[in-house]
Amino acid sequence: MANQTPVQIAWVTRDMDATEQALSALLGARRWVRMPGVHFGPDSCRFRGRPADFVADVALSYAGDTQLEIIAPVRGESLYTEFLERCGPGLHHVCREATDPADFDAAVRDAERHGATVVADGVMPGGMRFAYVTAEDAGVPYIEIACLTDDIRHLLRLRQTGAAAMSTEIPETVEAGSVHEWSDEVDVVVVGFGIAGGCAAVSAAAAGARVLVLEKAAAAGGTTSMAGGHFYLGGGTAVQQATGHEDTAEEMYKYLVAMSREPEHDKIRAYCEGSVDHFEWLENLGFQFERSYYPGKVVVPPGTEGLSYTGNEKVWPFCEQAKPAPRGHSVPVPGELGGAAMVIDLLLKRAADLGVQIRYETGVTNLVVGDGGVVGVKWKHFAETGAIKAKAVIIAAGGFAMNPEMVAEYTPALGHKRKTKHHGEVEPYILGNTNDDGLGIRMGISAGGVAKNLDQLFITAAAYPPEVLLTGVIVNKDGQRFVAEDSYHSRTSAFVLEQPDQTAYLIVDEAHMQMPEMPLIKFIDGWETVVEMEAALGIPEGKLAATLERYNEHAARGEDPDFHKQPDYLAAQDKGPWAAFDLSLGRAMYSGFTMGGLAVSIDGEVLREDGSPIPGLYAAGACASNIAQDGKGYASGTQLGEGSFFGRRAGTHAAQRG
């Protein structure tokens, strides 16, 4: 075997924050990079010989050249939960890296030959193969054998050195005349199998096309597999009807137009008018949204409730511009993350039934052009390369949240480190997988496409549940309110970014004080008087007191003339002592993803600067700009909803090319 020197030491914990702080102090670990909600699915992972289905939060850092890993189980039975039950939190394993798949297989065989047992193995999102082996009787609990993809290895190297970048460079196109041999010829090539790529592939195949999907990772799903499973749908779905919530396509259309920075009316109209049909199409994959409603203000319903509010429908002024209705449809999988992986599994089954070919660990590197359009792709599978001829290419390769260079150029708030008073250096947690590197967007540009809204991002740190906290006031460093506290969490957070030093505090009195159920915002302290609070927070003397006095006066009458907060969330904060929570970017636990992408038509055709479509080239999902345009207007479930809806349209349209 090749080099067997351990490259990583890993701990399993129940308290990620505490373990990070301890390792930083004791080992001098540099900044930690968190990957929340990593989903290990039963199609790609095993635990003690059986399919495994679990979610864990992961954090990575370095002490010298040694990588440090912290794993905190979230849900599901795994090697990590077993360890916590048996031993409690602590040192879990060391890792050795296999140089390639053949070396990985040889290392596992060699371990078994020497009496070790494989207790868990599989493929992580992003394509990394892993196996945990143990020789407990010999005093060796767990050793992980890992085979990294080139992209993951590159990303970890960048994180280790603090280097800035993957790339913002536009790849070159390849002229069809220079291709000496085509490895394959199909009707439609789909780049990536997340929600958009999966829906595009099955729709193209259902329309009679020969479809080949090239997936860069070792398993399907992409960032979709990390998502909670919200689909933003409306217009009178079966769940809305069953739970007594009247909605129409017109009211949904009016709301989405009101929330959009630059509304593309044809797309919004098509999405709203086709929403009920799309709901039924999703259920026909083989699951059913639960006919139930969660009435509270929540990030993710606590159970398997099928419907909840996931936007600003009841927030002023939007509640006056369109009749409010809940449109967040959740798949029947409990928990905050990973629910959408179930939909990916069903799409894979449908794709197999329709004869869709999928090649994993195969990345598209360039578009092949000819006759004024796109006629194929160049691909790479480890050291092997080739070219595929196609009548249409659909790019569904995700956004660019994991490309530090593109983030720095377009959405710096998503990657900018900050030194904070209470918590050291902190940066937002990126919701994405390692292949969200923006290559799909850059390939589209290489063929003549244009991108839009690349400067827009979703970034959030939810202050609720519990809802009672929203009866308080959110103020900036000058003690001034700047947003209705009952806004959906992404809207509130987007306004925080616009405040001086991106600093904000949530203030509540003793009568309305509860600790957050999801500790994303930091409790700072409590004070007997508002004067003491002002001094401690650095708010100019008298400013917070004046804000509270005005708010309390109107709240006592059930009014909020400044921000029109709904009466359910109005309550005077006049019963000291008072508490403060920190919503500031860099101190609260912010997470986010990118929102911009290629300009596309209603059918997913990639557009040039003059608005004309590029023949043979389509885009859908996070690498295309459709309805989701900015954080202030974002409703949870829009990415999955529009990605699947417009992915279907792109697949159907691409299949019709002669």
Band of pLDDT at residue 165, cut at 50, 70 and 90: very low
Provide the pLDDT for residue 246.
Answer: 98
CATH T-level assignment (fold) for domain 188-226+339-456+593-655: FAD/NAD(P)-binding domain (3.50.50)
Domain 8-161: top CATH class: alpha beta
Lowest mean per-residue pLDDT among 164-168, 392-396, 622-626: 164-168
For the segment 458-463, the average pLDDT, to the nearest whole number, is 81
pLDDT at 173 over 90: yes
DSSP lists the bridge partners of residue 574 as: none
With a pLDDT cut of 70, the percent of the chain lying above it is 91
What the block records as the tokens of 477 is 């460093």
**Greater model confidence, 157 or 547:** 547
Provide the pLDDT for residue 423.
Answer: 47
The closest of 132, 137, 215, 654 to 392, measured between CA atoms, is 654
The closest of 611, 648, 529 to 200, measured between CA atoms, is 648
The closest of 125, 165, 120, 123 to 147, measured between CA atoms, is 123
Provide the pLDDT for residue 422.
Answer: 46
Band of pLDDT at residue 31, cut at 50, 70 and 90: low
Other CB atoms within a 10 A radius of the CB of residue 445 amount to 16
pLDDT at 162 over 50: no
Sheet holding 50-51, edge to edge: 33-40, 54-63, 66-75, 8-12, 90-97, 140-147, 129-135, 117-123, 45-47, 50-51
Number of H helices, E strands in the chain: 17, 34
pLDDT at 595 over 80: yes
Provide the pLDDT for residue 519.
Answer: 66
**Greater model confidence, 210 or 588:** 210
For residue 620, give Cα distances in angstroms to 167, 213, 356, 637. 22, 14, 18, 15
Q: Torsion angle, CA of 534/537/540/544, rounded to 10 degrees?
A: -50
pLDDT at 130 over 80: yes
For the segment 516-520, the average pLDDT, to the nearest whole number, is 70
pLDDT at 547 over 80: yes
CB-CB contact of 122 with 219 (8 Å): no
d(CA 258, CA 322): 8
The overall average pLDDT reported for the chain is 89
CB-CB contact of 260 with 627 (8 Å): yes
**Greater model confidence, 613 or 100:** 613
For residue 111, give Cα distances in angstroms to 5, 6, 119, 124. 15, 15, 12, 21
Domain ranges of the chain: 8-161, 188-226+339-456+593-655, 231-330, 462-582
Is the C-alpha dihedral spanning 594, 598, 599, 605 positive or negative? negative
pLDDT at 326 over 50: yes
**Greater model confidence, 84 or 336:** 84
pLDDT at 608 over 90: yes
With a pLDDT cut of 90, the percent of the chain lying above it is 63
What the block records as the tokens of 494 is 């987007």
Q: Please say whether the structural domain 462-582 has been given the CATH code 3.90.700.10.
A: yes
Most confident range (mean pLDDT) of 85-89, 152-156, 521-525 is: 85-89
For the segment 263-291, the average pLDDT, to the nearest whole number, is 97
Provide the pLDDT for residue 299.
Answer: 79
The closest of 450, 401, 446 to 592, measured between CA atoms, is 401
pTM of the model: 0.77
Band of pLDDT at residue 154, cut at 50, 70 and 90: very low
Provide the pLDDT for residue 1.
Answer: 40
pLDDT at 424 over 70: no
pLDDT at 300 over 80: no
Provide the pLDDT for residue 4.
Answer: 63
The end-to-end CA distance of the chain, in Å, is: 52
